[in-house]
Structure 1
Amino acid sequence: MSDNSINKEKDQHNELNAVISITKEQIGTTEVITTFISPGGREVKVTGDVDEAMALALEAEVVEVDEETNARILRKTDLYLMPVFCFLYAVQFMDKTTNSYAAIMGLKTDLHMVGNQYSWVGSAFYLGYLFFELPASYCLQRFPLAKATAAFIVIWAITLMLHATPNYAGFIFLRVALGGFESAVTPAMVILTSQWYKKEEQFFRTAIWFSFNGFGIIFGSSIAYGISIHSENWSIEGWKVLFIITGLLTMVVGIVFLVHVPDNPSKAWFLTQEEKILVLNRIRTNNQGFGNKHFKMYQLKETLTDYRTWLYFTFAFLTNIPNGGLTNFGSILLSQDFNYGKLDALLMGMPSGAVELVGCILFGFSVKFIKHRLAIALFSIVISLMASCLLAFCDYDKKAKLTGYYLSSLAPVGMICCLSCFSSNVAGHTKKVTTNAIYLIGYCTGNIVGPQTFKENQAPHYSSAKIAMVACYSIALVNLSMIYFSYWRDNRIRDKLEAERIANGGPAFFMENQEFADLTDFENPNFRYAL
């Protein structure tokens, strides 16, 4: 930092030892309470348009939460919230992959699909996801979080049951609609995780609820298998029964979410007032709060000019080309490429769910020993690259190829890392919501492209799709390394600037409850990125 910047900051903060405070009367106003210089040398104005947590913070005494109390609050949070989070993520993944099971249960034949029409079944879901991602994210910011999420869940449950349609055009329309309504679930889960958990806890919790994608695979395959072996007992086609049953299960989860999950910790029915304050004090170190209902244009501009936003977008695009292919063609590969019968293909799909369920949790738990989550994610991408090579180049060895198919289920660890980075490393509520939305647009785009790499004329081996997986994971490995290095470098720069400022007699930035001022990570001098 230059001498001029230091002097400017010194002039702005001549009350070095004073405490800058926000009052209840100032909350929600546009009144400028204080200004300071960001780590990038930009003047930042703090107004009364702050985080929702500020109102509770003004009533609470800042206290150090001891280890025993911290563990008690964490256990209670896990007990009341994690089961619902986990089962929500299980049904959302089961719902989006139900068409893969339906494909070998007669869906393609009954709807007279030819050529690459089934590929568009997979892509259609993500087209809806893509077009509705930004509006869904805006709804989650503008309206009560848990209630808005529950509304999306109930509507997509109804949409899923309507998939028992008699024609291809109607089915494609419903896939687009389903993608649109499901687009809210991941950004909602990221925000909820950031509200309740400390930075160092978020990677493991994200890994737990995300890993239940694997449970969704096991559960969905089990339902499809049970329907298939009793197909003669149904008055309608088995694949239609599959969509109706999974839709009803999702409806139940949506209702439970509505009555059980609070919009933020200050409204938690299962916490006492004292415990709400303890949750608030627990998450102070995140330098973030519960959220802000106002869309802030300057934070949108900051998101679009933050190069890491586009690194995340590219990573999402690359890693979800393989995901989109395997999500929609997994059962078909097992049936055609691995030569399993219809029932055996449904059974053989279950181990991939078990690998994801157990593997993602173990990778998440390893953060207790390997403190850098990005290092863990890099290792998982290396495994995914090896798995795609086994799948692509080991046609002569069925066991090796099957090993590659199952190990590819560990690829979501990279996405888990990114989602946890959004909850811990992207501050400013509008910036967090927008970064998450842009990442998920990349996720959608990759999942749209993925099924198109499976060409009908290359069945049953689909060689170009497998080679595309190898290429995507290779580039993604470099991409994630760049994100890792950027966080490490920026932390060093911030530490150096703070040391220089103090050495030159400049003040350290301090404001009461500044963690809840809805500052972005670029604005807050005290913010450090979790690696």
Structure 2
Amino acid sequence: MAGFFVARFVLGMTESGLFPGVVFYLSLWYKREERQYRISLFFSAASLAGAFGGVLAWGIAHMNGVGGLHGWRWIFILEGILTVLVSLSAYFFITNYPSTAKFLTEKERACIQARLESNSDATRDEAFTWTNVSFAIRDPKVWLYGLGFHTMSLPLYTLSLFLPTIIKELGYTAAQAQLLTVPPYAVATLLTIAVAVASEKLKRRALFIMGSSSLAAIGYIILLSCTKPGVAYFGTILAAAGIYPATAIVLSWPANNVSGQTKRATANAMQISIGNLGAVLGTQLYRSTDGPRYFLGHGFALGYLCANVLVVGTLWTVLKRENARRDRGERNERLVGVGEEEWLGDDDPRWRFQT
């Protein structure tokens, strides 16, 4: 048990910088209106992995006894080897910035720089300062972004962790449960991409998050109220179909709205950290004695999804009001003594937030 906890701690520690790092990294390569779709593509890989994971787990479990090891050990070994191989190859083809990318020509680098300069701070040579870190910590909007993910993380992580168990408790065998995790994740993958495209085209974030969270809430209402396995299973599909698109947009929102490289990097990290506290709580909610309806776990997930609608609605209102004030020129005093080429980050009256 001690070895298990040490291994799990190290895994969490090394994994912690991945998502905020990827979100920040993509913000250095794409314009504001292009980031959400890319981040959603990246996040959709999580639901796609869930779809393939069920099939792989079902297949690899048949290796039980090979090499004197249980089937579940082989799942960790084989999928872990793939992760290591991808990470080693990624080191050689991931480039920090467009300006230093060796696979680009000078003309291509100049083109990317010109695109980014038009509406992004990605090309600015910004030195790290603790003052810029404090800007993120003192910005109430950053905390609201964090709460937006916090209220999604509990249903997100509990669904991904306990979906096979939930399905098994509906009356299916363990092998069937692994295979039946595929449709919810497949639907979630398709909807994550479709909702991201629609959100990007219409330039609306909050409405799509609130709509997706409401869809997931309907799924949990079905799970809480229905005892028929087929109908309850449909509830898991609705839950996944709402949770993943909403989470993808929530995670890309600060990448679009927070300006200043250090402030944005800090905001991304804060959002993931605040959000993961929901996952800590979520792991304690699904107890073996509570199946098959899991009133405690499903009830918490439903409550969190309702809270997400309230948090996102509040943030939407805050951003719209701030944009309106800037349109009326009420923030122009901040530009006094500021040169035309100087930039005040998202405090600059010329900046408009995406709502």
TM-score, normalised by the number of residues in structure 2? 0.92
Aligned residue in 2 for 1:160: none
Aligned residue in 1 for 2:131: 298
CA change 1:507–1:296 in 2 (3 A) is closer
Alpha-carbon offset, residue 510 of structure 1: 5.4
Aligned partners of 2:158 and 2:279 also within 8 Å: yes
> What's the secondary structure of 1:472's corresponding residue?
helix
**Correspondence 1:204 to 2:204:** no
Deviations 1:166-216, CA, capped at 9 Å, x for gaps: xx2211221111111111111111112111111111111111111111221
**Correspondence 1:520 to 2:349:** no
Write the letter of the residue equivalent to 1:236: L
> What's the secondary structure of 2:122's corresponding residue?
coil
Within a 5 Å distance, the mapping from 1:59-74 to structure 2 comes to: none
Aligned partners of 2:163 and 2:181 also within 8 Å: yes
CA change 1:291–1:321 in 2 (3 A) is farther
CA distance in 2, matches of 1:194, 1:429: 9
Alpha-carbon offset, residue 500 of structure 1: 7.5
Aligned residue in 1 for 2:11: 178
Within a 5 Å distance, the mapping from 1:209-224 to structure 2 comes to: 209-224=42-57
CA distance in 2, matches of 1:181, 1:296: 24
CA change 1:266–1:369 in 2 (3 A) is closer
CA change 1:323–1:419 in 2 (3 A) is closer
> What's the secondary structure of 1:480's corresponding residue?
helix
Aligned residue in 2 for 1:457: 289
Alpha-carbon offset, residue 345 of structure 1: 0.9
Write the letter of the residue equivalent to 1:407: L
CA distance in 2, matches of 1:251, 1:227: 18
Alpha-carbon offset, residue 272 of structure 1: 0.7
Alpha-carbon offset, residue 281 of structure 1: 1.0
**Correspondence 1:361 to 2:193:** yes
Write the letter of the residue equivalent to 1:520: G
Paired residue total? 353
Which among 305, 311, 327 is matched to residue 479 of structure 1?
311
CA distance in 2, matches of 1:442, 1:252: 31
Aligned residue in 2 for 1:399: 230
CA distance in 2, matches of 1:432, 1:398: 45
Aligned residue in 1 for 2:110: 277
CA distance in 2, matches of 1:258, 1:199: 26
Write the letter of the residue equivalent to 1:530: Q
Alpha-carbon offset, residue 368 of structure 1: 4.9
CA change 1:210–1:405 in 2 (3 A) is same
Aligned residue in 2 for 1:511: 340
Runs of 4+ in structure 1 deviating by more than 4 angstroms, as ranges, are 290-294, 498-501, 506-510
Aligned residue in 1 for 2:353: 529
Aligned partners of 1:265 and 1:276 also within 8 Å: yes
CA distance in 1, matches of 2:21, 2:143: 21
**Correspondence 1:326 to 2:150:** no
Larger Rg: 1
Aligned residue in 1 for 2:172: 340
CA distance in 2, matches of 1:384, 1:250: 30
CA distance in 2, matches of 1:324, 1:368: 26
Tell me how large the CA RMSD over aligned residues is.
2.2
Alpha-carbon offset, residue 349 of structure 1: 0.8
Structure with a larger share of its residues in helix: 2
> What's the secondary structure of 1:432's corresponding residue?
helix
Write the letter of the residue equivalent to 2:215: I
CA change 1:415–1:290 in 2 (3 A) is farther
CA distance in 2, matches of 1:269, 1:466: 50
CA change 1:446–1:298 in 2 (3 A) is same
Aligned partners of 2:62 and 2:71 also within 8 Å: no
CA change 1:437–1:507 in 2 (3 A) is closer
Alpha-carbon offset, residue 377 of structure 1: 1.5
Deviations 1:509-528, CA, capped at 9 Å, x for gaps: 6534x4xx5x4212x23211
Aligned partners of 2:61 and 2:75 also within 8 Å: no
CA distance in 2, matches of 1:325, 1:219: 18
Aligned partners of 1:498 and 1:508 also within 8 Å: no
Deviations 1:134-181, CA, capped at 9 Å, x for gaps: xxxxxxxxxxxxxxxxxxxxxxxxxxxxxxxxxx22112211111111
> What's the secondary structure of 1:528's corresponding residue?
coil
Which among 303, 319, 323 is matched to residue 491 of structure 1?
323
Aligned partners of 1:318 and 1:475 also within 8 Å: yes
Q: Give the % identical residues.
A: 25
CA distance in 2, matches of 1:356, 1:256: 28
**Correspondence 1:253 to 2:86:** yes
CA distance in 2, matches of 1:521, 1:176: 36
Which among 370, 375, 378 is matched to residue 210 of structure 2?
378
Within a 5 Å distance, the mapping from 1:187-202 to structure 2 comes to: 187-202=20-35
CA distance in 1, matches of 2:229, 2:288: 22
Write the letter of the residue equivalent to 1:328: L
CA distance in 1, matches of 2:338, 2:128: 26
CA distance in 1, matches of 2:87, 2:306: 38
**Correspondence 1:428 to 2:260:** yes
Aligned partners of 1:509 and 1:526 also within 8 Å: no
Write the letter of the residue equivalent to 2:231: A
CA change 1:222–1:487 in 2 (3 A) is same
Deviations 1:370-405, CA, capped at 9 Å, x for gaps: 22122212211111111111122222x322211121
Deviations 1:462-517, CA, capped at 9 Å, x for gaps: 2111111111111110100111111111111112117988xxxx9896534x4xx5
> What's the secondary structure of 2:283's corresponding residue?
helix
Aligned partners of 1:370 and 1:376 also within 8 Å: no
CA distance in 2, matches of 1:529, 1:291: 19
Alpha-carbon offset, residue 317 of structure 1: 2.0
CA change 1:194–1:435 in 2 (3 A) is same
Which among 270, 289, 314 is matched to residue 147 of structure 2?
314
Aligned partners of 2:57 and 2:75 also within 8 Å: yes
CA distance in 2, matches of 1:284, 1:195: 11
CA distance in 2, matches of 1:499, 1:308: 17
Alpha-carbon offset, residue 292 of structure 1: 6.2
Alpha-carbon offset, residue 411 of structure 1: 0.9
Write the letter of the residue equivalent to 2:300: A
CA distance in 2, matches of 1:480, 1:232: 49
Aligned residue in 2 for 1:60: none
**Correspondence 1:448 to 2:280:** yes
